[in-house]
Structure 1
Amino acid sequence: MSIRKRFLLAATAMATLAATALTATGASAAAAPTTLPAGQYTLSADYHQFDALNAALVAKLGTAAVHTVMDNANHDRGPVTDSLGLPGYTAGFTFDSGDDNDCTNYPQGITTSRDAIGTANSGNYDGHQLVLVSWYTKDGCDGASSRSRITLVDWDATYPDKYRKVLLVEPTGTAAAPSFKDITIHAGGVSWYGDYLYVADTGRGMRVFNMKKILKTNTGGTASQIGRQSDGTTYYAHNYAYVLTQIGTITSATTSGTALAWSSISLDRVSGSIVMTEYTCASCTNYPQRAPRAVRFPFASGATTFAASTTATQALQLPWYNLNGVASHNNRWWFNSSAAKKLYYWTPAAGSTTYAWVGGGESISYWEDTTNPDLLFSLQETIGHRNVFAVEQASYDG
């Protein structure tokens, strides 16, 4: 079913929101990014890092196609009830009450099946139009980061308003006795391109997964158990039914003297590239106190993978701080500052414009459409207000 029908189904809720929404402050001129030497930033890609272990795990556990995972979706999503006050608001959803109010899990990155395959077949991947959100998990409400996961959310009205959680894991062990372990990253950004899922790893670059290699695991055991058990045949994953195993790593390097902090990423389908940005602040103790950067890295020509070695094609120093989201499309850029509650729009030709945005805002994903307006998807991490929403990008393009 078309995205238009999904929007029509949301029309009643949208009207209610519009009636109570606060008017966003008008757009205003803003400081602009400056160009950095792009050649200082490179990537090294290894898509075969875990080939032997993954082959052994597939033989042991078997794979589940995305449509099978969604056939077994076991969480209900609901409508957005907060008044977001965003011009161009189109539709959105919230997670169930357990996830919306969970102090140990936090949504961060967002991508969609439109990233994965574009507008072909109405953006359906394995028969589903999907929104994918990355999360990190803490050991207790005030604990340290302990693992990461994704949620696959049905967006098309053809299917129930459901979603399913999938644990992200790294293969371990040997080919004779394969296992896996938790991936303790912030997962601040995520991009789905073809069958590959790229997840930001703050101090390293990106971890790579294959969406056709979701594995089936035993939901028994205890919530603390993960990996191969002593009988050699049982595999637990903190009671998750599905795990997505890492296949490789994209490692970032720079000659600039300051390593990139991979806080958020987004796919630009027009140029065939991933853009990243850093979370930094002007005055804080837990994050870098410096101006953030944004860098563009191209995929190999005609591919959804990076070459073994890749040099950036664009690098920017940014005048804004506390950036949790970035997107780029047709030489246009958007940056979300969670602390400032601003969305910054910039093009090299036209300069910058600042828009009011939501608090607790996270990553951004650009949604291409051939029959309806293009969209910007984003989300909020705030406990009790974890809204995933779409706005017309034309409302935020200067």
Structure 2
Amino acid sequence: MKLRRYLLLVGAGLAVALGSVVGIPAASAAAGPTTLPASQYTLAADYHRYDALNSALVAKLGTAAVHTVMDNANHDRTGITDSLGVAGYQTGFRFDDGDNGDCANYPQGITTSRDAIGTANSGNYDGHQLVLVSWYTKDGCDGASARSRITLVDWDATYPNKYRKILLVEATGTAAAPNFQDVKIHAGGVSWYGDYLYVADTGHGMRVFDMRKILKTDTGGTAGQIGRQSDGTTYYAHNYAYVLPQVGTITAATTSGTPLAWSTISLDRVSKSIVMTEYTCSSGCTDYPNRAPRAVRFPFASGATTFAASTTASQALQLPWYKLNGVASHNGRWWFNSSGSKQLYYWTPADGAHTYAWVGGGESISYWEDDANPDLLWSLQETVGHRNVFAVTQATYGA
């Protein structure tokens, strides 16, 4: 069964069973963004910072292609059991019981193989159509951020309903004795473009990973063991079988006087850019800025899936909304998800801003292009016990 048909059939079946499709929501008018000087925001890209160390790690550990990782997927995704009550619902899944109820791990960002390669070959990357979710791990249920990971989820009726976790790591040590350590970031947003995976790093910009360089590690260690062991040949990774090492950094700078807080990101395939936005509060927050948030667009180098060594933003906006965990843009249109208000905001310069009811605990957004069926918006919920990953028709939320 082809994926498009599968999406429609499964989505419709779940919608009827769960009562999750409601009428087209009535959009209410809202105050819209205002333009900021885009020239105030720049990026500096370095895709080769870890070349020597990563080459040494590859020589020690060997790599695993994405199709190999998915052939060894060891977790089952299941159907959504909640009635999401979200208009335009099409389809979705939730993680297994262990991940759904885990108070120390939280899903944040979302991207797909449709981001990576577009609609060609039905969006298959290395033979699989995939939904990719970023997570951060706390040191215990009430602890600080300790590490981050991604989850690769098969999303094609041809393949089993499986997913696999991959730990994000940063190379350390020397070329003679390479090692790696945890990447301790919130991983609030993620974008997959070509072979590169861009992960939001709140106070700095983005970290870059290469999906062709997944490393095989040794299992059997304890949950706390990370990196090269005393024998010099064994590499543990909190009992993960696969790790994805960072290959580069994208460092943000601004002359505006207020650094960007990289809360979440998303890919815009039409303008070949990454858009970001900030999680801020109107007042009263202690862990987040108390000011109006911004959204900024950074274009990729011409004809490439990488940024130039230096990049100036092509668009910058001041936003009237707060507690934003999700952003998406496509063909001049913007969407912003506020977990604080449970609303999805839609805006274009020509049509203005509109507000729609949205899910609670909502996180990042990814735009899903489709040549034969309506385009979708993919999103997810981080709430413990309600970790639904779901897609809605994009046209339900703006033109």
TM-score, length of structure 1 as denominator length: 0.98
CA distance in 2, matches of 1:23, 1:391: 13
Residues 7-37 of structure 1 show CA distances to partners (whole Å, capped at 9, x for unaligned) of 223432221123x666675210001000000
CA distance in 2, matches of 1:43, 1:154: 33
- Partner letter of residue 303 of structure 1? A
Instruction: Tell me what 1:319 maps to.
Output: 320
Give the deviation of 1:88 after TM superposition: 1.1
1:309 aligns with 2:325: no
3-state DSSP class of the match of 2:171?
strand
CA distance in 1, matches of 2:313, 2:220: 45
CA distance in 2, matches of 1:330, 1:21: 26
Residues 170-213 of structure 1 show CA distances to partners (whole Å, capped at 9, x for unaligned) of 00000000000000000000000000000000000000000000
CA distance in 2, matches of 1:257, 1:246: 29
- Partner letter of residue 158 of structure 2? T
Instruction: Tell me what 1:13 maps to.
Output: 14
- Partner letter of residue 116 of structure 1? A
CA distance in 2, matches of 1:6, 1:239: 34
- Partner letter of residue 69 of structure 1? V
Residues 93-123 of structure 1 show CA distances to partners (whole Å, capped at 9, x for unaligned) of 0000000000000000000000000000000
**Percentage of pairs with the same residue:** 81
- Partner letter of residue 262 of structure 2? W
CA distance in 2, matches of 1:143, 1:22: 39
Greater alpha carbon shift after TM alignment, 21-30 vs 4-13: 21-30
Give the deviation of 1:286 after TM superposition: 1.4
3-state DSSP class of the match of 2:316?
strand
Instruction: Tell me what 1:331 maps to.
Output: 332
Instruction: Tell me what 1:63 maps to.
Output: 63
3-state DSSP class of the match of 2:297?
strand
- Partner letter of residue 370 of structure 1? D
Structure 2 contact 21–87 (Cα < 8 Å) conserved = no
Which segments of 5 or more consecutive residues in structure 2 lack a partner in the other structure? none
Instruction: Tell me what 2:118 maps to.
Output: 118
TM-score, length of structure 2 as denominator length: 0.98
RMSD after superposition = 1.0
Structure 2 contact 15–21 (Cα < 8 Å) conserved = no
Structure 2 contact 28–355 (Cα < 8 Å) conserved = yes
Instruction: Tell me what 1:243 maps to.
Output: 243
3-state DSSP class of the match of 2:249?
strand
3-state DSSP class of the match of 1:15?
helix
3-state DSSP class of the match of 2:374?
coil
The within-5 A match list for 1:149-168 is 149-168=149-168
3-state DSSP class of the match of 2:32?
coil
- Partner letter of residue 278 of structure 2? E
CA distance in 2, matches of 1:81, 1:226: 36
The within-5 A match list for 1:45-84 is 45-84=45-84
CA distance in 2, matches of 1:110, 1:319: 24
Structure 2 contact 343–359 (Cα < 8 Å) conserved = yes
Instruction: Tell me what 1:372 maps to.
Output: 373
CA distance in 1, matches of 2:378, 2:245: 26
Pairs aligned (count): 397
1:135 aligns with 2:135: yes
Instruction: Tell me what 1:44 maps to.
Output: 44
3-state DSSP class of the match of 2:214?
strand
Residues 19-64 of structure 1 show CA distances to partners (whole Å, capped at 9, x for unaligned) of x666675210001000000000000000000000000000000000
Give the deviation of 1:381 after TM superposition: 0.1
Give the deviation of 1:89 after TM superposition: 0.6
3-state DSSP class of the match of 1:213?
coil
CA distance in 1, matches of 2:173, 2:242: 19
Instruction: Tell me what 2:270 maps to.
Output: 270
CA distance in 2, matches of 1:80, 1:47: 39
CA distance in 1, matches of 2:21, 2:125: 34
Instruction: Tell me what 1:183 maps to.
Output: 183
- Partner letter of residue 31 of structure 1? A
Instruction: Tell me what 2:173 maps to.
Output: 173
Structure 2 contact 11–89 (Cα < 8 Å) conserved = no
The within-5 A match list for 1:90-129 is 90-129=90-129
Which segments of 5 or more consecutive residues in structure 1 lack a partner in the other structure? none
3-state DSSP class of the match of 2:42?
strand
- Partner letter of residue 223 of structure 1? A
Runs of 4+ in 1 over 6 A off after TM superposition: none
Structure 2 contact 45–307 (Cα < 8 Å) conserved = yes
Residues 201-240 of structure 1 show CA distances to partners (whole Å, capped at 9, x for unaligned) of 0000000000000000001111100101111100000000
CA 144–325 in structure 1, closer or farther in 2 if over 3 Å, else same: same
Structure 1 contact 24–86 (Cα < 8 Å) conserved = no
Greater alpha carbon shift after TM alignment, 77-86 vs 6-15: 6-15
3-state DSSP class of the match of 1:247?
strand
CA distance in 1, matches of 2:137, 2:248: 22
- Partner letter of residue 145 of structure 1? S
Residues 50-87 of structure 1 show CA distances to partners (whole Å, capped at 9, x for unaligned) of 00000000000000000000000000001111111112
- Partner letter of residue 103 of structure 2? C
CA distance in 2, matches of 1:194, 1:21: 33
